[in-house]
Chain A
């Protein structure tokens, strides 16, 4: 199997606070994980590639100081939304890459819905 979990599944926070989202690969090790953002009725937008033991690679237009990514182990990556604002409200989805670069397959977590008031 290839199971990926996310925690929390939903979170409501006040503007200005920081929120941490965890992504875990439960039954396989993943040196690479990805973080996506999805707006209603839209596709997934890749935010960053998280690599275990090294700095994340951010896509163009994504603020690295706003969205902090830490891939501390082969089964855990975290995304911290710092000083969240209402425009950060979204559905955040992570995926973990099973296999090696170029021939691996991404398995997705169930997503975390963030609402910033």
Chain B
């Protein structure tokens, strides 16, 4: 597709359940980033991938959060045993390379609601 695609666009889950969020980056973009945006808050960095490896996972809030990327393309963010404080919009972004100054291109996000 032309842009970064994320699915689902909305996800409602019960506390304690696991969820998987998917990101399909722009074709040819080797760098992929996950951010979280809580209501009324800025964007919080979670993790980034260069190819299939994740050199920086420093933003993952807890060990309930994990992410993987396969084939240098699609990425999945998994949240285990979801908590209400996990409710947020999860944004994925990609860029041509993990190079300084390269603008990130964002998807529309997945709005996660934990009840």
- Do A and B pair up? The answer is no
